[in-house]
């Protein structure tokens, strides 16, 4: 019997036997403040930093280098690690050099006095430090440095995620070339739709990558089912319907993929609760998933398979409109339809201009 799970409209959480991901929370609309590790040998300095920064970041403090290494090992990952240069035992340069090996993606900032600038510059040149700040520094300079460092962390992780995504999809493409090409088209359509709906750039990026890997769970589907040239039996359909949960279990082990899990696990949920795997409906399914769902179905029905012919765009749009409010979010269907109509108008104008120039 399928374990029942509900998803709140704001937070994406599991009710029964939640995974580590769900316990941390992976709401795609509010991923939580970036994690920051501050290191100094003076408790007063750490207390001051925490008071200043806690409203914008999730701040963890460590007193000295040895303690910081332990925190990094046991409580990572952190987006940014900021350490003072002059500390007894292990100074800031040595600490950040060691941290580079333990957490290479964490962005490292060194705090230094004017007299210690040569050591700080050397640390930057060696690649152990992203940037340094001279003390005393204003809160404005501190926030700017942290925000720039967090943006760098996100860029690095986005690149890693993209590389990993392409590797996984290549392995799936080797078994089922339809799936990989389908996922790329769904990603493009979902992104265009999301942008037209005014979705934030950060969430559009989640949609772009999440849509690319939404079918990754098909890696766990046997070839006899995945590559069957004919129509699937009911038993085979039951096996195929496991792919969202398989995909979720594959990706939940990778921290960088937490934001994409709802798209992977819930992209077959219908607006009225008739979908699978959990029968969620309306706002129980995040908006980003509802967008991918429409793009996914449209591409699937307009792509021919050996066991069924493809639908035309007009037929596929009719299917979406008939299912609007029942299978699909009507707001998403409206945006998706308008995009296709606008594209057709543009194509007709371009074709008319081309024919006019040839006349």
In DSSP terms, which residues pair with 131 in a beta bridge?
109
pLDDT at residue 28, rounded to an integer: 35
CATH number, domain 35-150, options 3.40.50.11900, 3.40.50.2300, 3.40.50.150, 3.20.20.110: 3.40.50.2300
Q: Are 288 and 263 in contact (CB under 8 A)?
A: yes
Q: What percentage of the chain exceeds 90 in pLDDT?
A: 42
The pLDDT of residue 104 is above 70? yes
Evaluate the omega torsion of the peptide bond into residue 136 and state whether it is cis, within 30 degrees of 0: yes
Question: Measured between alpha carbons, how far is 77 from 106 in angstroms, rounded to an integer?
Answer: 7
Q: Give the residue-averaged pLDDT of 55-80.
A: 92
Q: Give the residue-averaged pLDDT of 246-259.
A: 82
The pLDDT of residue 25 is above 50? no
Range with the largest mean pLDDT of 15-29, 157-171, 271-285: 271-285
Contacts of 159 (CB under 8 A, 6+ apart): none
Question: Measured between alpha carbons, how far is 171 from 324 in angstroms, rounded to an integer?
Answer: 35
Rg (CA), the chain: 25
- Phi-psi region at 80: left, alpha or beta (left = phi > 0; alpha = psi -120 to 50): beta
Question: Measured between alpha carbons, how far is 108 from 147 in angstroms, rounded to an integer?
Answer: 13
Q: What percentage of the chain exceeds 70 in pLDDT?
A: 81
CATH number, domain 176-350, options 1.10.3210.10, 3.90.700.10, 1.10.3760.10, 3.30.1950.10: 1.10.3210.10
What pLDDT, in 10s, does the model give residues 148-158?
888 888 877 77
- When the pLDDT of each residue in the chain is averaged and rounded to a whole number, the result is 81
The pLDDT of residue 15 is above 60? no
Least reliable range by pLDDT among 10-14, 265-269, 318-322: 10-14
What pLDDT, in 10s, does the model give residues 126-146?
656 787 787 778 888 899 889
Question: Measured between alpha carbons, how far is 129 from 120 in angstroms, rounded to an integer?
Answer: 8
Question: Measured between alpha carbons, how far is 38 from 99 in angstroms, rounded to an integer?
Answer: 13
Q: Which two tokens stand for residue 312?
A: 């035309």
Confidence of residue 74 (pLDDT cuts 50, 70, 90): very high
Confidence of residue 352 (pLDDT cuts 50, 70, 90): low
**Residue 199 CA: distances (Å) to CA of 162, 203, 207:** 21, 6, 10
Range with the largest mean pLDDT of 140-144, 192-196, 212-216, 218-222: 192-196
pLDDT at residue 129, rounded to an integer: 76
Q: Give the residue-averaged pLDDT of 333-348.
A: 84
pLDDT at residue 11, rounded to an integer: 31
In DSSP terms, which residues pair with 308 in a beta bridge?
305
The whole model's pTM is what? 0.62
What pLDDT, in 10s, does the model give residues 34-56?
999 999 999 998 999 999 998 89
Select from 247, 317, 352, 261 the least CA-distant residue to 24: 261
Q: Give the residue-averaged pLDDT of 308-319.
A: 90
Confidence of residue 26 (pLDDT cuts 50, 70, 90): very low
Confidence of residue 85 (pLDDT cuts 50, 70, 90): confident
The pLDDT of residue 304 is above 50? yes
pLDDT at residue 68, rounded to an integer: 93
Least reliable range by pLDDT among 198-207, 244-253, 302-311: 302-311
Select from 27, 5, 29 the least CA-distant residue to 245: 5
Q: Are 248 and 217 in contact (CB under 8 A)?
A: yes
Where along the chain do its domains lie?
35-150, 176-350
Give Dmax over CA atoms of the chain in angstroms: 83
pLDDT at residue 120, rounded to an integer: 61
pLDDT at residue 219, rounded to an integer: 84
């Amino acid at each position: 019997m399928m374990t029942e799970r509900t998803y709140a409209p704001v937070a994406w959480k599991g009710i029964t036997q939640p995974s580590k991901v769900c316990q941390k929370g992976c709401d795609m609309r509010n991923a939580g403040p970036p994690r920051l590790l501050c290191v100094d040998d003076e408790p007063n300095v750490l207390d001051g930093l925490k008071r200043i920064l806690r409203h914008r970041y999730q701040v963890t403090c460590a007193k000295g280098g040895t303690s910081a290494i332990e925190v990094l090992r046991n409580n990572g990952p952190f987006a940014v690690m900021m350490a003072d240069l002059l500390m007894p035992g292990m100074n800031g340069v040595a600490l950040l050099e060691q941290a580079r090996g333990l957490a290479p993606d964490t962005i490292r900032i060194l705090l230094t006095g004017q007299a210690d600038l040569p050591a700080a510059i050397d640390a930057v040149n060696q690649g152990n430090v992203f940037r340094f700040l001279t003390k005393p520094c204003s809160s404005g300079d501190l926030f700017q440095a942290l925000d720039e460092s967090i943006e760098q962390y996100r860029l690095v992780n986005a690149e890693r995620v993209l590389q990993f995504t392409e590797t996984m999809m290549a392995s799936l493409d080797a078994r089922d070339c339809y799936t990989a090409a389908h996922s790329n088209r769904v990603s493009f359509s979902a992104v265009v739709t999301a942008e037209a709906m005014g979705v934030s750039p950060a969430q559009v990026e989640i949609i772009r990558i999440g849509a690319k890997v939404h079918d990754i769970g098909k890696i766990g589907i046997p070839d006899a089912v995945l590559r069957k040239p004919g129509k699937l039996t009911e038993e085979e359909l039951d096996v195929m319907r496991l792919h969202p949960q398989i995909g979720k279990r594959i990706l939940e082990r990778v921290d960088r993929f937490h934001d994409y899990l709802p798209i992977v696990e819930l992209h077959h949920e219908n607006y009225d609760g008739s979908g699978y795997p959990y029968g969620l409906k309306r706002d129980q399914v995040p908006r980003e998933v509802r967008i991918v769902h429409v793009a996914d179905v449209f591409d699937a029905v307009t792509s021919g398979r050996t066991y069924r012919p493809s639908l035309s765009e007009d037929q596929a749009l009719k299917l979406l409109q008939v299912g609007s409010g029942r299978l699909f979010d009507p707001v998403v269907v409206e945006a998706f339809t308008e995009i296709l109509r606008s594209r057709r108008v543009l194509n007709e104008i371009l074709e008319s201009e081309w024919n006019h120039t040839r006349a």
